[in-house]
Structure 1
Amino acid sequence: MAVRLVRRAGVLGCGLMGSGIAEVLARAGVETTVVEVDRDALARGRARVEASLARAVSGGKLSGAAREEALANLVFSTDLGDLAEVDCVLEAIVEDEAAKLEAYRRLDKVVENDAAFFASNTSSIPIMKLAVATSRPEQVLGLHFFNPVPVMRLVEVISSLVTSEETREQARFLATEQLGKRAIASPDRAGFVVNALLIPYLLSSVRMLESGFATREDIDAGMVEGCGHPMGPLALLDLIGLDTAQAVAESLYEEFKEPLYAPPPLLNRMVEAGLLGRKSGQGFYGYRQGG
């Protein structure tokens, strides 16, 4: 079975993950159209991509010429119709099932290329639910990237019960051969591989803090210095976003009804208070703007 080179891609959503996905596509030479809901969100996403490319140049990981080539491969738009002729769409909008279902219904009508596949970066919503919102469910799958996308090598390839082998191999080819990522396969079940292992660990750290068993500093230092982790679980929650972690935990709990997946009260209260981690400037730790 022959796979095709993805030459034109669409990225739906240009937040933290969408901007990273757009950057790695553009750096790989793929003509990439990024679509956001409005001009303000688009401007923020564009600034995020440009800042990341600038950091790569200043850090010696990218040449100035390569940066200009990547920028030349990017088109930013608020018109979903600009995705009509792409070879694939990588969706990275808000982790909300209703919003994603509506997005896939609209994409199905807009994308005219019958061979195009749709890939969701969801970390918790079943791919099957998204697939049946389209008239081409066999061409829908999950491509779950990790933050920060330009740095993290892993991509989870998630096939639903009806995802075709051609779609799966095409997506794997894009991830591994074109983007240089390491791809692992996962069935379509909540949490996939990584979060099914990671989320219970993170929630346990919140429960430990909540019970007064240990301080946040000692919990994180224990895992960094004792287990060789690059950062502690509470700092990692701040990086991921407490709202994102809560959504994944709720999805896991809904599917498996295991108590270890249930979000602790402290996590729920922090999300309600808007203490979401780095993205809001305050989570388990405080963060200065741009720092």
Structure 2
Amino acid sequence: MTIRLTVALCLVVVLSTDSASGSYPKAQNVTWKSTNFKTFLTWEPEPSADYSYTVEFSAVGRDKQRSPHCTRSSKTDCDLSSFLTDLKACYKADVISTPPLGASSDLTEFPYSSSTRFCPYQETDLGRPEFKLEVNGNKRSTTLYVTDPLTAVFKDGRQLNLRDIFADELQYKVTYRRNQSTGKKTQVSKTNVIEVTNLDKGESYCFNIQAYIPGRDISKQYGALSVTQCSDKGEEYSAVVIAAAIFLILLLLGVIITVTVICCKRRKKALGSKKEGLPLRDV
């Protein structure tokens, strides 16, 4: 009797849930995706023509808001970058299954799925930086000049970069190796100009750089790796230049000597011809 009663109660709950949801299934896999504070809320599945999605979000402890671009929408993502203005706050969002645009429903409450908490300052992924390298004159060190990645944050009409937001918390980790070698070394710098020293003279080295914020959770400390850049083999390049310079000097000397010899021969020949043409003097 108890088992039958339990089954009956379960059926009542299921039926009442289906009735409340109508033809509006809940969103699944509601996820935050954010890089350099460009932040999207994503979910599944794509809706049919019978329903749409509406996103509500708020900083924890504050009133909920809606984005006009994510209200009764057929999309499965919502760009909330411009709304998450307090970067150090934490946010939550609901994806609500609603009637399609222009339609109405007798339901007073619509099914929804909630996101996990998202804190931009601590959780946005760090994009890969760009850099230029310069082999120093001693051929034993290389200087890397890093450009801070831009973010989706604007202030007073100016687009901010990672350094503008994280200030001294932002560091850069350099990973480098000798070209064609698998052995790697690392170096951390607090500045954007990084000198890598004690390199083998005349060898080519390859470098990667990634943003690094040590105060974050370990899974969010490191950003994406930059594109690999390798230096030229300075000594080999210098040897080629020196050899070419020596060759040009020798060639120039050869031309000068040849022209000088030809000119001397012509001058002697001209003088000889001139002497033969003169009349003999009386003794």
TM-score range, shorter chain: under 0.3
**TM norm structure 2:** 0.20
Higher strand share: 2
Q: Which has more radius of gyration?
A: 2
Q: TM-score, normalised by structure 1?
A: 0.20
Please state which structure has a larger fraction of its residues in helix.
1
